[in-house]
Chain A
């Protein structure tokens, strides 16, 4: 079943605990709320308060059980659980604009922060000083860094930016990383490995496929971009779709991807045998009535646009938007896999958005889509 939980008015981001019994989210303010399921019910167990401004991103590490947060106050905190209390330690990112996204590296010995300062910070822990150090990748982006994604081999970092580009950097740090990885070997910190110049608009939601062979990201112009065979001879595919733009994506396998965004319903994309990606279908809530597409959200606006003659009322009164009957009622901004360490296929994932809901999806309920 699809489970829907209304947690607040609006959620900026969320993350799951390693055992998936707890969820951490930011209810569009300076706090992180952590809820736990107790006997089928959600109970608030912790509130993390330290940031001064809205928290834009949360990531919860699986192996080390640490939470990292990034905020518009330009700082990050790494939270460690000590005696059932979450203890923050400040990470000075050295930014002059908001931190927008944060992600632990697969090895969890580093984390990266994208920012509005056209900069990416890569942070690592220094034992002797008990301190997180931030190293900056500067002067490579021409605008805000909207999302970041780690290659599974812990060295390469992909970014998307509002300058329309997707880039891949090496984050090799001496003393933290070893030279034995297949990708990014011999590269130095901050070196730009690749620049993808496929979009003319803002780009969002970059992700690597589980093996790290395919890169996907989205554009504000209702396009999704797939870059395959990275490392050998990259090939790119730009796919236009008829729905509103996407904000974030998730690879559930090497050949299937879920996109979420302004359309309020997740979209399924899949690759065929030859590696050509195409749009498959929307993931609708199973019980949703299959009413007219875009009914409530668009009829009002289009009615005005087309002179209202065919779209109901003749006066200027536009009916307030009715609930769409879908799982989400506003833009989905975040999609997170729910899986145990080492699993390659993601059968469950959760989405959160501007409507303040966290929705948990089970792909097994959509066998017809998975063909």
Chain B
């Protein structure tokens, strides 16, 4: 089971507010900085894919996702990086065994983004992973990915 320990942002008894760690506590970077970081990430993903390490590539792609911004270009750029790694995965069971549970929710969000493209190979791959991931992470994981309307991918 996963849990996040949370920190207090403003902590005076009488007027305190608790937020999830790493969530909105810092102002989002500007879109250009995020795009250039995703580009660097994409290059590393390509290198890992050339070395036939698709699972490491996927983990790298999911790292820092979704980008902490409302900018659709950033979200698309990150999706392209995730999609590239996702499509290279052959051994789904091995991938899920390697991936830490903290990545399950974000992976599920990208699977739904993949399914929404309507592209046949993408959908087939996403459905295949979706089935195995649901076995592993339960319907709660689906609920978390669908119910979160703030950190969209």
Q: Which residue of A lies closest to B141 (CB)?
A: A242
Q: Tell me the residues in window 203-229 of chain A with beta carbons closer than 8 Å to chain B beta carbons.
A: 219-223, 227
- Chain A residues in contact with chain B, CB under 8 A? 192-198, 200-201, 219-223, 227, 231-245, 276-279, 294, 298, 302, 305-307
| Stretch of B34-42, B82-90, B92-100, B142-150 at the chain-chain interface | B142-150
Contact A238 B20 (CB under 8 A): yes
Contact A245 B143 (CB under 8 A): yes
Contact B148 A201 (CB under 8 A): yes
CB contact under 8 A between A200 and B149, given known A235-B6, A240-B3, A278-B1: yes
Report how far A308 CA is from B39 CA in the complex, Å. Answer: 39
Report how far A238 CA is from B22 CA in the complex, Å. Answer: 13
- Which residues of chain A are within 8 angstroms of B11 by Cβ–Cβ distance? 233-234
Contact A242 B19 (CB under 8 A): no
B105 at the binding interface (Cβ < 8 Å): yes
Report how far A234 CA is from B138 CA in the complex, Å. Answer: 31
3 smallest beta-carbon distances between A and B, as pairs:
A242-B138, A222-B140, A221-B147
| Partner among B1, B105, B127, B137 whose Cβ is within 8 Å of the Cβ of A305 | B127
- Which residues of chain A are within 8 angstroms of B16 by Cβ–Cβ distance? 194, 234
Q: Which residue of B lies closest to A231 (CB)?
A: B13
Contact B8 A306 (CB under 8 A): no
| Partner among A220, A233, A294, A305 whose Cβ is within 8 Å of the Cβ of B139 | A294
| Partner among A194, A197, A235, A238 whose Cβ is within 8 Å of the Cβ of B3 | A238
| Partner among A194, A219, A235, A240 whose Cβ is within 8 Å of the Cβ of B105 | A240
Q: B92: shortest Cβ distance to chain A, in Å?
A: 13
Q: Which residue of A lies closest to B146 (CB)?
A: A221
Most buried by B among A198, A221, A279: A221
CB contact under 8 A between A195 and B17, given known A236-B6, A238-B6, A239-B1: yes
Contact B1 A279 (CB under 8 A): yes
* Chain B interface size, under 10 / 10 to 19 / 20 to 34 / 35 or more: 20 to 34
Contact B3 A278 (CB under 8 A): yes
Report how far A200 CA is from B151 CA in the complex, Å. Answer: 9
Return 20 A-B CB contacts under 8 Å, by A number: A193-B13, A193-B14, A194-B17, A200-B148, A200-B151, A201-B149, A222-B141, A222-B147, A231-B13, A233-B8, A233-B13, A234-B8, A234-B13, A234-B16, A236-B8, A237-B3, A237-B6, A240-B144, A241-B138, A242-B139
- Which residues of chain B are within 8 angstroms of A192 by Cβ–Cβ distance? 15
- Which residues of chain B are within 8 angstroms of A307 by Cβ–Cβ distance? 127
| Partner among B18, B139, B144, B149 whose Cβ is within 8 Å of the Cβ of A234 | B18
- Which residues of chain B are within 8 angstroms of A277 by Cβ–Cβ distance? 3
Report how far A232 CA is from B13 CA in the complex, Å. Answer: 7
- Which residues of chain A are within 8 angstroms of B139 by Cβ–Cβ distance? 222, 242-244, 294, 298
- Which residues of chain B are within 8 angstroms of A223 by Cβ–Cβ distance? 144
- Which residues of chain A are within 8 angstroms of B141 by Cβ–Cβ distance? 222, 240, 242
B76 at the binding interface (Cβ < 8 Å): no
B5 at the binding interface (Cβ < 8 Å): yes
Contact A222 B143 (CB under 8 A): yes
Report how far A265 CA is from B43 CA in the complex, Å. Answer: 47
Report how far A231 CA is from B144 CA in the complex, Å. Answer: 30
Report how far A198 CA is from B16 CA in the complex, Å. Answer: 13
Report how far A223 CA is from B144 CA in the complex, Å. Answer: 8
Report how far A122 CA is from B74 CA in the complex, Å. Answer: 47
